[in-house]
């Protein structure tokens, strides 16, 4: 059966590559991003891989409850169900904690953690009604081991791991599986914008990680499992 997949933060990087991977495998995908011009460009590129009816472009802010509710409702109206939710939208700040502003802290926590919470809260009742569904939360290697200058990012990604485990526990017996994917550093704009000067040859490619995420969706592993992807 082809799946209906909703992917947040999917106009570029990991999210875009993951959308392409599912589309290439015959699934129908709703991409979601904050900036409509970026989303339209991503949709144009993805439309080369699939029939137009297999792709839905949606826009909004993962931090806003109203936007999340609206997008989920639109996906249900367009596709009729949601089989897989991939919470991928994320931002990062690389600064010592004493130089991290409250505004920066809130932006990272609200995007990475609150956004995951809002989408999961909206989609879990849908999946319970369907008696099936998969939620994949994109955390990070820094979601299980802290590193200097990543206070907000690590806090958010540790939170995503904890939220994944809570959701798995709460949805036992419902037909829903909840997983977290914990990648190492990935060759994306998010990484380069931090100015870390890493060697691109040592980074995971978004396309490689997308294949691993696709595999997780079909793994039928125990709910709550953490999938580390470091190489």
- pTM comes to 0.95
Give the per-residue pLDDT at 27: 96
Q: Which residues of 110-137 are buried (b: 16+ CB within 10 A; e: fewer)?
A: bbbbbbbbbbbebbbebbeeeeebbbbb
Residue with tokens 């109206």: 77
| SS3 (DSSP) at 131 | coil
Residue with tokens 């609200």: 110
Tell me: pLDDT of 190 over 80: no
Q: 24, 94, 128, 153: which is the annotated catalytic residue?
A: 153
Return the CATH superfamily for domain 4-229. NAD(P)-binding Rossmann-like Domain (3.40.50.720)
| Number of Cα atoms under 13 Å in the Cβ half of residue 153 | 22
Give the per-residue pLDDT at 191: 73
Residue-level length of the chain: 231
Average pLDDT over residues 210-228: 97
Whether the Cβ atoms of residue 209 and residue 229 lie closer than 8 Å to each other: yes
* Mean confidence (pLDDT) of the chain: 94
Give the per-residue pLDDT at 1: 61
Tell me: pLDDT of 189 over 80: no
What's the gap between Cα 202 and its chain centre? Answer: 23
Please give the residue that has the higher pLDDT: either 209 or 192: 209
Lowest mean pLDDT among 43-47, 68-72, 166-170, 191-195: 191-195
153 annotated active-site: yes
Tell me: pLDDT of 231 over 80: no
Q: 59, 114, 157, 179: which is the annotated catalytic residue?
A: 157
Calpha distance 75→136 (Å, rounded)? 17
Tens digit of each residue's pLDDT (9 = 90 or more) over 111-131: 999 999 999 999 999 999 999
Whether the Cβ atoms of residue 226 and residue 34 lie closer than 8 Å to each other: no
Q: Give the confidence band of 16 by pLDDT, cuts at 50, 70, 90.
A: very high
Calpha distance 193→214 (Å, rounded)? 26
């Amino acid at each position: 059966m082809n799946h209906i997949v909703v992917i947040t933060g999917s106009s570029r990087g990991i999210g875009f590559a993951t959308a392409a991977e599912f589309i290439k495998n015959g699934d129908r995908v709703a991409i979601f991003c904050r900036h409509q011009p970026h989303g339209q460009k991503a949709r144009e590129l993805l439309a080369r891989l699939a029939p137009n009816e297999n792709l839905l472009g949606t826009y909004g802010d993962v931090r806003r409850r109203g936007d999340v509710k609206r997008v989920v409702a639109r996906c249900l109206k367009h596709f009729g169900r949601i089989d897989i939710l991939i919470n991928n939208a994320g931002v990062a700040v690389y600064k010592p904690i004493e130089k991290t502003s409250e505004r920066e802290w809130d932006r990272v926590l609200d995007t990475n953690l609150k956004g995951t919470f809002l989408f999961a809260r909206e989609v879990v009742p849908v999946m319970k009604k369907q008696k099936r569904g998969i939620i994949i939360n994109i955390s990070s290697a820094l979601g299980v081991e802290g590193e200097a200058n990543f206070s907000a990012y690590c806090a958010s990604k540790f939170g995503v791991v904890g939220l994944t485990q809570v959701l798995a526990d709460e949805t036992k017996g419902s037909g829903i599986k909840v997983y977290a994917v914990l990648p190492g550093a990935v060759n994306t704009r998010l990484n380069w914008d931090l100015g870390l000067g890493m060697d691109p040859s040592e980074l995971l490619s978004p396309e490689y990680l997308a294949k691993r995420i696709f595999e997780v969706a079909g793994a039928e592993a125990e709910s709550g499992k953490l999938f580390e992807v470091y190489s």
